[in-house]
Amino acid sequence: MSAEHHSSLLDAVKGQPKQVWITAFAAVIAFMGIGLVDPILLSIAKGLDATPSQVTLLFSSYLGVQVIAMLVTGAASAKFGAKRTVLVGLSLIVVATALCAAAGSIEQLVGLRAVWGLGNAFFIATALSVIVGAATGGQSGAILLYEAALGVGLSVGPLLGALLGSISWRGPFLGTAILMAGALVLCGVFLKSDKHEKRDPIKLLDPIRALKHTGLLRTSVASALYTAAFFAVLAWSPFVLGWNAIAVGLIFCGWGLCVAVAGVALAPRLAAKLGERHAAAVAVFGYAVLMLVLAVPSKPVLVAGIIVSGLVSGLLNTLFTGTAMSISDALRPVASAGYNFCRWLGGAVAATLVGHVAEWFGSPQAPFVVSAILCVVAGGLLSLREKKADPHLVPKEAALVGEEF
């Protein structure tokens, strides 16, 4: 991280009001949800007598509901205000995570993860606007705080899941419920009411209409293909490793730290050199190579590949979103919603099918090989020439990458 960037990060955290810190704290916990179950997938499978394909549904139900909800959250926030939308989201997460800790079957757990995904969509889609609206020092500083929350959540989630999961697979869910309940109380007390603010209406189908733009659609489909590969790493590699919760948690903690560093510090530099769309194309081709590395039947190679893939994922998370924000003339919140809908649909489908792909091809490495092919197709889509010039910067709104988690 450069001295200039480090300085701006320090400036961003100075003198922020309470509601910024409270929202950022809640965002960290919400982002933890994506990797929380990673270290305990094997424990859940054993404790609930479930197959790997059933257990990976914990990702697909969470993401599937979140995908649909992303089309609703913008309209809900515009109608009811950010504070009420945040509180509804946090309440759903608290209820869902607490009930997850008491689940008696894999079917119950999958259903509750869907409720968790709904709550997460309402909260995350609104948290950035709360931070930006309340932060001192301008929008760029607020976005740095939001990106920092994303990185901390992605790295701490697997570690917390590992530590509590070593006691019981129910522990991480209970711990998250307690932390999020605290965040709910703090947000309820300290976030300013915005019920009387004037807000521009957002129609439910506006994000889908935005995808009529060829460039945005192409970028969104390419991102969906990459995200499918991303979830092959996240949802399937713990089964290939077969290690205990602590070992898997430490691996994915390292992965999450790499995501954070690359997304905040490296992606803008790569975009400045190549242009955001071309930089994303180069990075996704690199991710294809990494997927082939993960397919090597060696656990040390798999571990190294997972951690290094975090660097490329950090680049792609920011670069893909930056491309989506700049490639069309749609309003950025609307373009972001349409893009996120496609992107996380890819993740939901992948999390559902990844175990079946291994069964169909009779190899635990097959999901990684298929992921490499998907990334090559994604790179090809990004490499097609666009009429609009490729800007050599990442828009501030690229930090919206965190809203899908």
pLDDT tens-place string over residues 193-216: 766 566 566 677 788 888 899 999
Q: Which CATH class is domain 3-194+203-404?
A: mainly alpha
Q: Label residue 141 by pLDDT band (50, 70, 90).
A: low
- Ordered DSSP codes for 164-178: HHTT-TTHHHHHHHH
> 91: how many CB neighbours lie within 10 A of its CB?
17
CB 208 within 8 A of CB 202: no
Q: Which bin fits 242, alpha (ψ -120 to 50), beta or left (φ > 0)?
A: left
Amino acid at the residue 180: M
- Per-residue model confidence as pLDDT tens digits over 41-65: 888 988 899 988 888 888 889 888 9
Nearest alpha carbon to residue 318 among 288, 277, 372:
277
The tokens for 124 are 């995350």
Q: What is the distance in angstroms between the CA of the first residue and the CA of the last residue of the chain?
A: 24
Q: Give the pTM.
A: 0.80
Structure tokens belonging to residue 194: 């915005």
pLDDT for position 198: 63
Residue 254 CA to residue 155 CA, distance in Å, equals: 7
Condensed to tens digits (0 to 9), the pLDDT of residues 322-366 reads 788 778 887 766 777 788 889 889 988 998 899 899 999 999 999
CA distance 397 to 405: 16
Please give the pLDDT value at position 387: 60
Please report, for the chain, the start and end positions of each structural domain, with discontinuous segments joined by +. Answer: 3-194+203-404
